[in-house]
Amino acid sequence: MAARVSRSKSEAARPAAGRRPAGKSGVREVRSAERREAILAAALEEFAVNGFAGTRLDDIAQRAKIAKGTIYLYFADKETLFQELLRAMFAPIVKGFEQMPADDVPTRDIIERIVALFVREVIGTRRKDVIRLVISEGSRFPALAEFHYREVLSRVIGAMSALMARAIARGEVKNPAYAKFPQLIAAPGLVAVIWSGLFERFAPLDVEAMMRAHLDIIFGERKAP
């Protein structure tokens, strides 16, 4: 019943929907966590393909092999599910971009590790679709855009900038613009994300080769091994 009169209106009175409390890890809790994961996985698939407005909770439920109503035991509503999904996807990976290197490691090695991580964990997984989702829906979910700026983008950009400053200080990179516009480092990564999602079937893009060429430009041609 959408209009439960004097309940549906007052947000305050709403019972604490969603978010199951995680008690001691009995059978119940384990299954509960599994369910939650199943829902998130199904939601990712559906949202990635259809966008937020275009995705039906019915489809998510079907894919997760649960009843429609069950979703509401774990998430307050469609929007919450969507946002929690997108938030959860990046937490683990950003750390990999931020690790500051030991003194004796050449910056190029670090960046190459990062690129490999990016290709493996972003381009090679559903995460690339999550990035496209943020791009697609960001303007309609200001909270989402802000979260991703704060938690992902600003940190990645910051890490890139620091890394480039280090490389410039050590004479590994000539052009100081890279520290000022770290976006220039990440730009081909964005191209890769979007190309692989939309145009791969018309003209495949060798992302790794492109990224290698990009690094060669930044650091100067690598000597033959």
Contact footprint for a second copy (CB under 8 A) = 1-6, 15, 48-54, 58, 77-79, 132, 134-142, 145-146, 149-150, 153-154, 175, 177, 180-181, 183-184, 186-188, 190-191, 194-195, 197-199, 202-203, 205, 209-210, 213-214, 216-217, 221
Q: Which two tokens stand for residue 75?
A: 């998430």
CB crowding 82-93: b at 16 or more within 10 Å, else e: bbbbbbebbeeb
Question: CA-to-CA distance for 159 and 94, rounded, in angstroms?
Answer: 10
Least separation in angstroms between CB 54 and a second copy = 5
Site residues (CB under 7 A) for DNA, limited to 26-55: 27-28, 31-32, 35, 55
Question: CA-to-CA distance for 41 and 44, rounded, in angstroms?
Answer: 5
Instruction: Confirm if 86 and 129 have CB atoms less than 8 A apart.
Output: no
Helix (H, G, I), strand (E, B) or coil at 169: helix
In the bound state with a second copy, the residue whose beta carbon lies nearer, of 105 and 175, is 175
In the bound state with a second copy, the residue whose beta carbon lies nearer, of 40 and 134, is 134
66 binds, among a second copy, DNA, none (CB under 5 to 8 A by kind): DNA
Q: Which two tokens stand for residue 10?
A: 């007052």
Question: CA-to-CA distance for 59 and 183, rounded, in angstroms?
Answer: 37
Alpha carbon 136 to chain centroid distance?
A: 13
In the bound state with DNA, the residue whose beta carbon lies nearer, of 18 and 138, is 18
Query: Could you tell me which stretch among 4-12, 129-137, 160-168, 210-218 binds DNA (CB under 7 A)?
Result: 4-12
Residue 196 binds to DNA (criterion: CB under 7 A): no
Question: CA-to-CA distance for 105 and 134, rounded, in angstroms?
Answer: 34
In the bound state with a second copy, the residue whose beta carbon lies nearer, of 37 and 208, is 208
Q: What is the largest CA-CA distance in the chain?
A: 75
Site string for DNA, 75-114 (x = CB under 7 A): --xxx-----------------------------------
Q: Which two tokens stand for residue 221?
A: 């041609």
Chain residues that interact with DNA, rule: CB under 7 A: 1-4, 7-9, 14, 17, 20, 27-28, 31-32, 35, 55-58, 66-70, 72-74, 77-79
